[in-house]
Structure 1
Amino acid sequence: MDIPEVTETDLADLILRVARQLRRANADELAGTPLNPHQARALRLVARLEPVRMADLAERLHVAPRSATDVVEVLVGGGWVERTADPMDGRSRVVRLTSAGQGLVAEVDAARARAASQVLAPLGPADRASVASGLRAATDAAGPRSLT
């Protein structure tokens, strides 16, 4: 069986289309939670990095520190994270999940899994393995900044 040639731009377009489908499905699934996609991403980053300094969170979110502060304010207001003094530098603040935040992370992760399942359902195990392998190679080549 001949495999049709796919140009780099064709492949890039397909990746972007799937990424848009994933974002849309993720937003639809998150509609059942109190967070929008940007807030959910921040919450997941806090969970993965905690305790995380505000400046590091802003960098990982690729936003200005003030924008990260705005997102964290929403998360603090919901009772999902708390800000405390950085034990290494009392002038800085770190963010940690609360027990309510841990529960919400599980809810957000389940929503993301449902969205991914919906969008990626047409791919069989071999296709998934092949796509994952190729995308890992591309992200590894891009360096550590691509992992945020």
Structure 2
Amino acid sequence: MAKAKKKCRQYSVDYLKYGFVPSEADKQLPMCLLCNKVLSNDSMKPSKLEDRLKRCHTDKIGKDLKYFQTLKEKYEKRPTMHSMFASTSQSNDDGLRASYNISLLIAKSGKPHTIGEQLILPAVEEVLKNCFAQISI
């Protein structure tokens, strides 16, 4: 006996009028913009999406497409963990690069690594102290 092939629905842009966008994890699954729940592919029928909107989000029934478009834009622009960590890591790159370059110069000189603590750190502190003293004047 041959197995019946399961029908897999594709997301349609018309589903936005019911408050659904494709899930980030799997583009074939709908995600509710109002409660961020990902539903199964079986519930991608327009009648089931409309029914869920009526059952779970009764206050949003009369909303037009423009309302759901603005919700989608807000959802796409929201801060994510990736975007927050990406911005902080970029600001730390300069200090990390300077530290690496100093370590590389010490290694190339053939001196012990303690020379950085004895010579370079006091020199950098002196330069920074003088630079910030001039800026504050």
Given the two structures, how large is their TM-score scaled by the length of structure 2? 0.23
Bigger Rg, structure 1 or 2: 2
Greater fraction of residues in strand: 1
Higher relative contact order (CA 8 A, sep 6+): 1
Given the two structures, how large is their TM-score scaled by the length of structure 1? 0.22
